[in-house]
Amino acid sequence: MQRIINDPDNIVDEMLEGFLKAHADIVEATANPRVIKARNIPGAKVGIITGGGSGHKPAFIGYVGKNMCDAAAVGEIFSSPTAAAFLDAAKVADQKKGVACLYGNYSGDNMNVKMAVAMAKKEGIAIKTVIANDDVASAPADQREKRRGVAGEIFMWKVGAAKAAQGASLDEVIAAAQKAVDSTRSVGIGLSPCTLPAADHPNFAIKPSTMEIGIGHHGEPGMKVEPLGSAEDIAKIMVNIVLPDYPFKEGDQTAVLVSGLGATPVMELYVLYNEIEKLLQQKGIKIYKNYVGNYFTSLEMKGATFTMMKLDDELKELIDMPACSMGLKEGVCS
Amino acid sequence: MQRIINDPDNIVDEMLEGFLKAHADIVEATANPRVIKARNIPGAKVGIITGGGSGHKPAFIGYVGKNMCDAAAVGEIFSSPTAAAFLDAAKVADQKKGVACLYGNYSGDNMNVKMAVAMAKKEGIAIKTVIANDDVASAPADQREKRRGVAGEIFMWKVGAAKAAQGASLDEVIAAAQKAVDSTRSVGIGLSPCTLPAADHPNFAIKPSTMEIGIGHHGEPGMKVEPLGSAEDIAKIMVNIVLPDYPFKEGDQTAVLVSGLGATPVMELYVLYNEIEKLLQQKGIKIYKNYVGNYFTSLEMKGATFTMMKLDDELKELIDMPACSMGLKEGVCS
Amino acid sequence: MTAFDNKKGRSILQAMVRSIQQNKTHLSDIDGLIGDGDHGINMNKGFSLFEKEYKDKELSFNEGLEKLGTTLMNKIGGSMGSIYGTLFIGMGEAGSRLTKISLADLTAMIEKGYSKLSEIIEARPGDKTLIDTLAPALESLKKSTEKKEDFKTALIKMKAAAKAGSDSTRELKARYGRASRLGERSIGVPDAGSVSCRLLLAAMGDAIVELLE
Amino acid sequence: MTAFDNKKGRSILQAMVRSIQQNKTHLSDIDGLIGDGDHGINMNKGFSLFEKEYKDKELSFNEGLEKLGTTLMNKIGGSMGSIYGTLFIGMGEAGSRLTKISLADLTAMIEKGYSKLSEIIEARPGDKTLIDTLAPALESLKKSTEKKEDFKTALIKMKAAAKAGSDSTRELKARYGRASRLGERSIGVPDAGSVSCRLLLAAMGDAIVELLE
Ligand SMILES: Nc1ncnc2c1ncn2[C@@H]1O[C@H](COP(=O)(O)OP(=O)(O)O)[C@@H](O)[C@H]1O
Ligand SMILES: Nc1ncnc2c1ncn2[C@@H]1O[C@H](COP(=O)(O)OP(=O)(O)O)[C@@H](O)[C@H]1O
Ligand SMILES: [Mg+2]
Ligand SMILES: [Mg+2]
Ligand SMILES: [Mg+2]
Ligand SMILES: [Mg+2]
């Protein structure tokens, strides 16, 4: 595999070392090498933590920062962090106002968070969770609780963290983050696979000239495989999966996120966004705010995700709050 | 090829459409569809323009914005913009205080800028140019004027644009941008090739388990091909090419940019930065400011570039000035 | 031939480690078909870490299981860290006072591990997870214990039950874990965790046979 | 057989367009060896744009050259936009008052184009660029004009000179353009621009032969 790494078994630790050096103005190390925290977490606010497997840069550590997550637990590539790491993240973020653990719906994360929550409670930390499950393609609407969390997690973090920054209570933060999740839907399309650094061949296959509709952030197979379409076709498929599921309707104000999966040139993301915008315009749906870029990746997978959140006044205000993390810079980074 | 596009011949125009929609707060269209400009260019300052082939996102249009370039001419993929586009960019940026055209050393760009400059002068625009030639691997030190411009162009733009924002004269802006170029050196290492959207196979080859040292931003062959090394090896090779050429020495304060070429996972860029930082530390060279990410890409090439600029007080002040473009967000984006 | 010395347990753990190391690629390949392709990498990393950390230390069977479980739980994460971590820690705890380990003891140890595991996962037999291997293997041991069968015979039957259980996942639809949202597309491929569980139980069984006194 | 009708020039331009369209992939492949692999794409886009834009319009040879040059210059960019743009516009301007075009006229037209081109590029014969094709082709035409050779013979000789010039780039080290920094590594591969230039001159020559009166 054509990679810039040393020992594949150390890639996560070395990446963290480099990340901490590069962004010393935003984040810092903690006693647990698999937990990083924001610099200068303001006191007297609800702590926001998250965590997940590595290989999704900027997620997860790229969303730690000012008015964003206060700490993140870091797992191996595509593998949940340990319960101990989630626990330590909670401890680091705890300002005696409670901790909100906002993470994505994967069985490893669920188990480890569950154990961490039990341990945190024993230690007297008021901790509650919100589980993102925005990936429409990963389960039918009547089993929403089984859906995976994908790029929509970014909206959950932004909204929950902004609410906490406003000084809201733990319950209010949880309610806002849950509202973000409930108002958000995503779908992914895969064009080529990725290879785990410790492996010597891709961990799944996407045949040339085909695309996998509904693919997950780890290459989990999607709903179906079809001949590779044009950007316009892909936009239509995505919009037709996401829109009816919520449902989004004429007049809605939304936040739209088009994220690359890693190796798709950013140029193509703009071509895709252009098509999606046209379709939404036709349906009278307004894009209040957009995000186009590599916001939540899967190593060097080719493909893209489309995420849409319906906004109300509260969500608008929260999504607009300045924030400073490596992956999301809005307004003042000081 | 696994791409999200419509007709490959329209990819640049459609990308621009999407880009303008996505970043309407930062940039806007002009009468020439191949020229985009910053919103609200402040009057009474030197205009900063650039331009180049497409496929290098965020370069070039991603560096148009507040305290960055005022306008950019957009070429086909890997192909210089027309002289007419450079001319129109100059017109759009001209505030009667002169225009600085800051671009990279490629024969197409040289020819088209030369023609544009002649036309602009005829129309009464005071225009001067600075040509970035930071790519050490592209010519020996005694033929520096033949070297290509690569990721170091970003420092040239940042410095020149910051100087202009301070209200400096055209000559002062040109001098600052030239100082940035003269203090900057880069080298690139390629791990896998890219494919032009209109082509059906990569436009050059890099054999698996090898790396091309000194590769250019369009896959121009480098100095030599070697077996693929570890991140540590690659860092050493890069540092040993860049450092002696300037030369950078103990006690120097520098800005360091590690950019991915498109498809290398960002995780790996942090692993590489970690190694480079260690080597510079050993040599007593201080990294005053760092940039790690996909700052100047080549479609979906795998690989990375390492760029280093020696800072003096003026360059420090200019590099620290807040700026807001899609590719570089520092401080206030309003 | 009715029990083995708890103190001599290191060889059993070594056999388990080796079977994971040898099947690293195989396990990832299976996981790649309907999961994210890292099962072998995760398992290998955890088991090898344990091997390295306890290389020169004395370890009884139950201690070894606890240490292995703790390493998986605290160092590896993923689903596997908590699932195998919980299972092995539970087994180890249940065996902590034993000098000799009989068929009934081993059965009780696995039963304890399984019950601990059930506290953190909802999967039942038929859900296409490692439970499809573990549950029938445990059932088989229980039956052998009731029937007072010979330890070695019981282990051979247990291995067969584990294999049949693991093979059965091929025809099942996944309901938990990454593969669960594949629906029909998960059919035809075995579950990666059920295969690693079968390998571990087989390695354990074979190594115990060698130690029977 | 000493001249052709300027008005009938459309067929010459069509032949030039077609030769680029047919060799699109070939030209990109050559450029890919030591350049950035887009020469065929760039050329094809420009020439096809011209073809489309002037499909239903009357065009003399000199007008066609000017329009083609302007399209390349204003729509395509790259090195090619300015190089071929300048060359063709220069040729077209030099032929603007001609009704019939003789060998001497054609020579003068190319000479004018070449001199315009020299104002924007520094490359000389031997630098591994399209100049290695253009310069000997022009030389050959000049000699034929001096010797008052038959127009057709002159064109055949010109084609041969262009081919020889283009072939010679194989052994040269590139000094301009993207390939220039390759040094020794650029030897052994022809220059893409010299090949497209040869194709264009050959297509032009052949089409003129058809028109000779
Ligand atoms: N919720 C769950 N309940 C039971 N078993 C599970 C669950 N989630 C995962 N597994 C088991 O874990 C295996 C996958 O392990 P592994 O690939 O190492 O972790 P991950 O799914 O995090 O990549 C599956 O094959 C399955 O047997
Ligand atoms: N400075 C130059 N002088 C003369 N010819 C040049 C110069 N630069 C490029 N060329 C010609 O252009 C050709 C490459 O054209 P093309 O691939 O279309 O443009 P680009 O180099 O911008 O990708 C080269 O093969 C060479 O013949
Ligand atoms: Mg995993
Ligand atoms: Mg080019
Ligand atoms: Mg897995
Ligand atoms: Mg080229």
- pLDDT tens for D27-58 read 999 998 888 888 999 899 999 999 999 988 88
Which one, of B22, B57, B19, lies nearest residue B35 by Cα? B19
The residue extents of the domains of chain C are 3-211
User: pLDDT digits over B220-265, tens only?
Assistant: 888 899 999 999 999 999 999 999 999 999 999 999 999 999 999 9
* DSSP designation for B262: B
Q: Is a pLDDT exceeding 70 seen at residue C181?
A: no
Please list, in sequence order, all residues whose beta carbon lies within 8 angstroms of the beta carbon of residue B80, skipping any fewer than 6 positions away.
B51, B52, B53, B106, B108, B109, B111, B112, D77, D78, D79, D81
The answer to whether the Cβ–Cβ distance between D45 and B81 falls below 8 Å is no
Residue C135 Cβ contacting ligand 1 at under 6 Å: no
pLDDT for C179: 66
Q: Which residues pair with A102 in a beta bridge?
A: A130
Q: Is a pLDDT exceeding 80 seen at residue D179?
A: no
Instruction: Give the other-Cβ count within 10 Å of B40's Cβ.
Output: 9
Q: Which of B82, B114, B216 sits opposite D76 (nearest CB)?
A: B82
pLDDT for A306: 98
Instruction: Please report where in the chains the tokens 């125009």 appear, as a residue.
Output: B13
**Which residues of chain D make contact with B108, given a CB cutoff of 8 A?**
77-82
pLDDT: is B149 or A331 the higher one? B149
Mean pLDDT of A215-233: 93
Report yes or no: C154 and C137 within 8 Å, Cβ to Cβ.
no
The answer to whether the Cβ–Cβ distance between A274 and B333 falls below 8 Å is no
pLDDT-derived band at A204 (thresholds 50, 70, 90) equals confident
pLDDT for D175: 75
pLDDT for D177: 61
Task: Give phi and psi for B317, each to the nearest 5.
Answer: -60, -40
Q: Which residues pair with B67 in a beta bridge?
A: none
Mean pLDDT of B170-198: 97
pLDDT for D178: 60
Segment among B10-14, C79-83, D106-110, D178-182 with least mean pLDDT: D178-182
Q: pTM, whole model, 2 decimals?
A: 0.93
Mean of pLDDT over chain B: 96
* DSSP designation for B309: E
**Which residues of chain A make contact with C120, given a CB cutoff of 8 A?**
111, 114-115
Instruction: Give the other-Cβ count within 10 Å of B146's Cβ.
Output: 16
- Report d(CA D123, CA D134) in Å as an integer: 12
User: pLDDT digits over B303-323, tens only?
Assistant: 999 999 999 999 999 999 999
Segment among A323-332, D66-75, D110-119 with least mean pLDDT: A323-332
Q: Which residues pair with A66 in a beta bridge?
A: A324
Q: Is a pLDDT exceeding 70 seen at residue A1?
A: yes
Looking from the CA of C188 toward its CB, the CA atoms found within 13 Å total 7
pLDDT for D35: 80
**Which residues of chain D make contact with B198, given a CB cutoff of 8 A?**
38, 41, 45
> Coil, strand or helix: which one is D43?
helix
| CATH value of B10-132 in 3.40.50.10440, 3.40.50.300, 3.40.50.1110, 3.30.200.20 | 3.40.50.10440
Please list, in sequence order, all residues whose beta carbon lies within 8 angstroms of the beta carbon of residue C173, skipping any fewer than 6 positions away.
C128, C182, C183, C184, C186, C187
Query: Closest-CA residue in chain B for A54?
Result: B267
Task: Give phi and psi for D107, each to the nearest 5.
Answer: -60, -45
- Report d(CA A117, CA A73) in Å as an integer: 13
Q: Is a pLDDT exceeding 80 seen at residue C21?
A: yes
pLDDT: is A290 or B332 the higher one? A290
* D191 in B contact zone (CB under 8 Å): no
Report yes or no: B58 and B19 within 8 Å, Cβ to Cβ.
no
CATH of domain D3-211: 1.25.40.340
pLDDT for B202: 86
| CATH 3.30.1180.20 is held by the domain A184-319 | yes
Residue D7's Cβ-count burial label (10 Å; 0-12, 13-18, 19+) is middle
Residue C81 Cβ contacting ligand 1 at under 6 Å: no
Report yes or no: B226 and B191 within 8 Å, Cβ to Cβ.
no
- Report d(CA B59, CA B328) in Å as an integer: 10
> Coil, strand or helix: which one is B186?
strand
Please list, in sequence order, all residues whose beta carbon lies within 8 angstroms of the beta carbon of residue D117, skipping any fewer than 6 positions away.
D83, D86, D87, D90, D134
Query: Closest-CA residue in chain A for B327?
Result: A293
Mean pLDDT of C40-60: 93
In ligand 1, which atom is closest to the CA atom of C43? 18
pLDDT for D38: 87
Which one, of A148, A154, A134, A174, lies nearest residue A57 by Cα? A154
The residue extents of the domains of chain B are 10-132, 184-319
Which one, of D55, D14, D23, D7, lies nearest residue D199 by Cα? D23
A201 in catalytic set: no
pLDDT-derived band at A274 (thresholds 50, 70, 90) equals very high
In ligand 2, which atom is closest to the CA atom of B108? 22
Q: Which of B4, B191, B332 sits opposite A271 (nearest CB)?
A: B4
Mean of pLDDT over chain C: 93
A247 C-alpha to center of ligand 2: Å?
Answer: 54
pLDDT for A199: 84
- Report d(CA A221, CA A151) in Å as an integer: 17
Q: Which residues pair with B174 in a beta bridge?
A: none
Strands B302-310 and B184-192: antiparallel
Which one, of C149, C173, C174, lies nearest residue C161 by Cα? C149
Mean pLDDT of C99-114: 98
pLDDT for D181: 55
Report yes or no: B186 and B307 within 8 Å, Cβ to Cβ.
yes
Please list, in sequence order, all residues whose beta carbon lies within 8 angstroms of the beta carbon of residue D111, skipping any fewer than 6 positions away.
D94, D138, D142
Instruction: Give the other-Cβ count within 10 Å of B123's Cβ.
Output: 11
The answer to whether the Cβ–Cβ distance between A81 and C83 falls below 8 Å is no
Mean of pLDDT over chain A: 96
- Report the percentage of chain B scoring pLDDT > 70: 99
Token reading at B26: 């930062």
* D116 in B contact zone (CB under 8 Å): no
CA distances (Å), origin C78, targets A75, A81, C94, C175, C201? 7, 6, 25, 18, 21
Mean pLDDT of B2-31: 97
- Report d(CA A187, CA A237) in Å as an integer: 9
- Report d(CA C88, CA B112) in Å as an integer: 70
* C96 in A contact zone (CB under 8 Å): no
Token reading at A334: 């000081």
pLDDT for D37: 85
**Which residues of chain C make contact with A204, given a CB cutoff of 8 A?**
32-33, 37
Instruction: Using CA atoms of A146, A150, A155, A157 in order, give the dihedral in degrees to the nearest 10.
Output: 80
Which one, of D128, D117, D45, D36, lies nearest residue D84 by Cα? D117
Token reading at C46: 């955890």
Mean pLDDT of A167-181: 98
pLDDT for B83: 95
Query: Closest-CA residue in chain C for A206?
Result: C33
CA distances (Å), origin A194, targets A79, A299, B170? 15, 6, 48
B218 in catalytic set: yes
**Geometric angle at alpha carbon C206, from C202 and C207, rounded to 5°:** 115
